[in-house]
Amino acid sequence: MIRRKKQRIIKLTLGFLILYLLWSGFLFLRYSSPKPSHAAPNPLEIVGIYHVHSTFSDGTKTPEKIANIAAGQDLDFFILTDHGRPNFDSLASEGWQQGVLLLAGSELSVNRGHLVGLGFETPLQPFSQTAELAAAQIAQAQGFTVIAHPYSKVHWTWGKYAGYSGIEIISTDTILRKNFIRLLPILPLIPLKPRIPVLKLLQHPSRNLRKWDELCREFPIYGFYSCDAHLWYGPLFSSLRLHVLLDSALPEDFTEARKTVYAAIKRGRFFNAVDAAAPSQGFRFWGQGQDGSIDMGGTTSQLPLLLQIQAPPALAREVRLLQDGRIIQCTTEERISFEATQTGTYRVEIYLREPTPMTQDCPWILSNPIFIRKN
């Protein structure tokens, strides 16, 4: 009797194991590497990573080793955001590393949550623990601030707007904490196809997008896909990226290059993309008015304004144009023109309709807005 029971348990376990192997094998084989980009490389579109921790705080790799990984993925820059008010050691590590621009901001623990300071000159004294004061001090030091993972374990408590330039829309810190259980069945795939588990975890960031749209009604504020990498740098770097648009190629001089990248990010001249799902290079969003064109991130009073969207070519996708968080156009075309006749905050979300491990309701590309305001 006991022997038969034992045999049944062994058979069930084996059956389960075979099913699991079949399922993970299917996942492994189904998703080959993303299709190569159809767009020609463009020195005016540089690609990098925002929000990275190194051994200067709670990250697991040194800035040099992280630069190695970034160089291996042909990235142009990455931004360290080690904890501190600021993290002076991390700031001192800035420079060119193996052809990659290593920039360092800091993630400040303040009374409202975590606030990322970027592009500031190294201060003589630590920044304040009060969010509003810290934001003012960082602005005074030529920098700008981004509200980090507003709905994670360390969440943001909303108060008076203190000139923040950005808010994180997707943060792996939030995703990993909330979805850790979902990760368990795909854990063995990590060494084989590390991008699959990361892509499988991404979800539609409804709450963050809603809040962003709400904030944008009053202030121009930009959305960031945040790696918040402490480990797993390779898979995370291939997944959540910033594509920054420049007016001229990145200068070789470090100080000039740093200034150029931060100036573009501060103006919202970048879009976010999940490149591990499919290459997003070549996406553009701009406005054409009677008095000239307006870049993504810009504010204008020109009405009507012809909004133009160029989606990356040769991929099945759904392009959504939103006004104040409402979808006003939804299409699968590659080139879209829309005449905006009302003031509002206009932005673009693109969803992939190709088979990828990423859930189809996670925005593959997220633009920054064009703000049309009354004079």
Residues that bind Zn ion (CB under 5 A): 107, 114, 148, 228
Least gap, CB of 109 to Zn ion (angstroms): 8
If DSSP states are collapsed to H, E and C, what string results for the chain?
CHHHHHHHHHHHHHHHHHHHHHHHHHHHHHCCCCCCCCCCCCCCEEEEEEEECCCCCCCCCCHHHHHHHHHHCCCCEEEECCECCCCHHHHHCCEEECCEEEEECEEEEECCEEEEEECCCCCCCCCCCCHHHHHHHHHHCCCEEEECCCCCCCCCCCCCCCCCCEEEEEEHHHHHHHHHHHHHHHHHHCCCCCHHHHHHHCCCCHHHHHHHHHHHCCCCCEEEEECCECCCHHHHHHHEEEEEECCCCCCCCHHHHHHHHHHHHHCCCEEEEECCCCCCCCCEEEEEECCEEEECCCEECCCCEEEEEECCCCCCEEEEEEECCEEEEEECCCEEEEEECCCEEEEEEEEECCCCCCCCCCCCEECCCEEECCC
Least gap, CB of 253 to Zn ion (angstroms): 29
- Give the residue with the Cβ less far from Zn ion, 14 or 154: 154
* CA 36 – CA 15 distance, rounded (Å): 38
Least gap, CB of 182 to Zn ion (angstroms): 21
Least gap, CB of 355 to Zn ion (angstroms): 32
- Give the residue with the Cβ less far from Zn ion, 179 or 331: 179
Least gap, CB of 27 to Zn ion (angstroms): 29
Least gap, CB of 171 to Zn ion (angstroms): 8
- Give the residue with the Cβ less far from Zn ion, 150 or 220: 150
- Give the residue with the Cβ less far from Zn ion, 228 or 295: 228
Least gap, CB of 76 to Zn ion (angstroms): 21
Distances (CA, A) of 365 to 76, 172, 174, 179, 284: 19, 16, 19, 22, 10
- Give the residue with the Cβ less far from Zn ion, 148 or 257: 148
Q: Which residue has the tokens 């006749």?
A: 341
List beta partners, residue 352.
317
Least gap, CB of 152 to Zn ion (angstroms): 7
- Give the residue with the Cβ less far from Zn ion, 110 or 162: 110
- Give the residue with the Cβ less far from Zn ion, 132 or 168: 168
- Give the residue with the Cβ less far from Zn ion, 166 or 282: 166
Least gap, CB of 231 to Zn ion (angstroms): 12
- Give the residue with the Cβ less far from Zn ion, 205 or 357: 205
Least gap, CB of 57 to Zn ion (angstroms): 8
Nearest-CB residue for Zn ion: 114
Q: In the structure encoding, which two tokens stand for residue 149, read together?
A: 């993972």
Closest C-alpha to 274, from 375, 220, 192, 352: 352
- Give the residue with the Cβ less far from Zn ion, 114 or 193: 114
Contact 324, 347 (CB under 8 A): no
